[in-house]
Homo-oligomer: A and B are copies of this chain.
Amino acid sequence: MLEDKDRTELSDLGEFGLIDRIAQSVEITQKSTVKGIGDDAAVLGTGKVKTLISTDLLLEGIHFDLSYVPLKHLGYKAVAVNLSDIYAMNGKPTQITVSLGLSSRFPLEAIDELYTGILLACDKYNVDLVGGDTTSSISGLTISVTAIGEASEENIVYRNGTKETDLICVSGDLGAAYLGLQLLEREKAIFKDNPAIQPDLTGHDYVLERQLKPEPRADIIDILELEKVVPTAMIDVSDGLSSDLMHICTQSGVGCRVYIDKLPIDHTSAIAAEELNIDTTVAALNGGEDYELLFTVDLKDYERIKDNPAIRVIGHITDKGDGYNLVAGEQIIPLTAQGWKHLEA
């Protein structure tokens, strides 16, 4: 490998830096490539109806811990998070491929559990499993899912279309998946110290389900269609609200203002947060894995969404010069994004 002096650590660049670097060296030559790297999904095709493609790689020890994640849930989640990327383009998923790297410690019965979860998600969201690759692995379990979807050209929502005065909206609630993860990690640590103690997760069904079995927001895409609202920008909340909102803002060349008291937080999340001594706002802003849809709409569409209980307006888009800000009462605090936590470990 390379001498130390020629060596640049990936952690110095970070995930988004690396993606930017790759994107810059890519040249687009096919006329069927409408949008390449840089959004929730690639947009392909020469007709009016476009094909959407998104892919995720999930590695044991980085994205999941099999000591507390059941394989069935893992299969379901692996599909769900990919479908979420297709919905985030205002599209509908149609097919997936699933590739697995399996170590010999997994018997067939374990693979069946994993596929039961995969097919359950396929069934629920009406997508077909059409291919993949299976191989052995000398390390842990590897799951690679590619989701394929479609959308009419005029309905596709990118990250870069928002403008000053647009409203910032988010579906559902935030922070619960992160709190669920912290609970599972806490119980794992207790169990490690004393295997005789049974895990105590009573009353935390909601936050645990948000972590273990997230549901992509297909219903929001249906609501938007029904209400004839095409968002000006959209992304799914996977890295955390702050980070994902900043993707929209940087790509659109705008600033933003988010009101802390508007952040949607479930009451059971608040209970879990208190038990864990975690600030609910921090969980909502930086927790990640919510798989909610974060989108912006033109002011004229306010009437169409304001009464929908599944959607909350949390702020508005400002001029780029104003920066990215969080409003807490009289205070204005700059929003900060968290990158790729994995690589910094």
Q: Is the CB of B129 within 8 A of A30?
A: no
Residues from chain B with a CB closer than 8 A to the CB of A310 are none
Copies of the protein in its oligomer: 2
Q: Is the CB of B54 within 8 A of A51?
A: no
Complex-state Cα separation, A231 to B107, whole angstroms: 39
CB A84 to nearest CB in B, in angstroms, measures: 13
Whether a CB of chain B sits under 8 angstroms from the CB of A55 is yes
Residues from chain B with a CB closer than 8 A to the CB of A8 are 107-109
A1-40, CB < 8 A from B: 1-2, 6-13, 15, 18-19, 21-22, 25-30, 32-33, 35-37
Residues from chain B with a CB closer than 8 A to the CB of A142 are 57, 59, 101, 142
Residues from chain B with a CB closer than 8 A to the CB of A127 are 30
CB A263 to nearest CB in B, in angstroms, measures: 28
Residues from chain B with a CB closer than 8 A to the CB of A26 are 119, 122, 128-129
CB A37 to nearest CB in B, in angstroms, measures: 6
Residues from chain B with a CB closer than 8 A to the CB of A130 are 28, 33, 35-37, 42, 44, 53
Query: Pick the contact of A9 from B12, B35, B63, B107 — CB < 8 Å?
Result: B107
**Contact bitstring A271-289, B, C-beta under 8 A = 1, else 0:** 0000000000000000000
Query: Pick the contact of A36 from B12, B32, B47, B131 — CB < 8 Å?
Result: B131
Residues from chain B with a CB closer than 8 A to the CB of A94 are 30, 32-33, 44
Complex-state Cα separation, A42 to B136, whole angstroms: 22
Q: Is the CB of A136 within 8 A of B101?
A: no
Whether a CB of chain B sits under 8 angstroms from the CB of A137 is yes
Residues from chain B with a CB closer than 8 A to the CB of A337 are none
Complex-state Cα separation, A138 to B55, whole angstroms: 20
Q: Is the CB of A109 within 8 A of B56?
A: no
Q: Is the CB of A97 within 8 A of B18?
A: no
CB A301 to nearest CB in B, in angstroms, measures: 29
Complex-state Cα separation, A106 to B343, whole angstroms: 11
A104-B11, A110-B1 as given contacts; A131 in contact with B55, CB under 8 Å = yes
Residues from chain B with a CB closer than 8 A to the CB of A90 are none
* A interface residues with partner B (beta carbon < 8 Å): 1-2, 6-13, 15, 18-19, 21-22, 25-30, 32-33, 35-37, 41-42, 44, 47, 51, 53-57, 59, 61-63, 94-95, 97, 99-102, 104-111, 115, 119, 122-123, 126-140, 142, 144, 146, 148, 150, 340, 342-343, 345
